Amino acid sequence: MGNSYAGQLKSARFEEALHNSIKASLRSSSGDPQPIFTQLYLEEPLSCRASCKRDFGLNGTPPWGGCLLLSFCQAGKDLRLVSMLTEPIEVPAGFELVGAKSPSIPEHILVCAVDRRFLPDENGKNALLGFSGNCVGCGEKGFRYFTEFSNHINLKLATQPKKQKHLKYYLVKNCQDALCKGPLICWKGEIFIILERRILSSHSQWVRSLHTLN
């Protein structure tokens, strides 16, 4: 689709350049026309520049040529929690700020805004099927598929049945009003792992207490 649109733009520019060259040759006393291809490829008309910005967005960057850096969205905005600690973030009503993680960038948490209806409660239940999220970097809204959203934020997904499990933490404000990692998001299935760890931890503490008494 993008290549087809680019071809239409180039065709329109060629016709405009040809038209201008013919007009210039008719007006020129020497009769030598202006070189069409020099005008077409070395000069970019202002009207075309404005059209590109209007159709492709900020800086005239086409959607198919977006940023592919990990931890940045395709619009080139940094999504790392460490970079957004004190940044003002618009969170629509009914949405939560959550942190996403991927094995490809284990040292960073990416900030996302997700409709809380699609997030589980503390027992790992009551999450609606599907997804709805916004990019807090560039402000793009209305992502309805997590795969589409993860592509936009350049989040490399691990192979597993429920890809939303890459959303790992709720993000909260601390006493300094800075955004920080909050409670773990308890997806169904992971709640049992958390409980098992707590039981093992309690058992270890109990064993250490017995050794201390003896």
Here the contacts of 114-118 (C-beta below 8 Å, separation 24 or greater) are 114/167, 118/164
pLDDT the model gives residue 126: 86
pLDDT the model gives residue 143: 96
pLDDT the model gives residue 101: 92
Co-location of 96 and 158 in the same domain: yes
| Owning domain of residue 9 | 2-65
Co-location of 90 and 170 in the same domain: yes
Q: Indicate whether 190 belongs to any domain.
A: yes
Number of independent structural domains in the chain: 2
Co-location of 56 and 89 in the same domain: no
> How does pLDDT run across 26-58, given as a tens digit for each residue?
555 555 555 544 444 444 444 444 444 444 444
Co-location of 11 and 90 in the same domain: no
> How does pLDDT run across 98-119, given as a tens digit for each residue?
999 988 889 999 999 999 999 9
Q: Which residue has the higher pLDDT, 166 or 59?
A: 166
Co-location of 127 and 168 in the same domain: yes
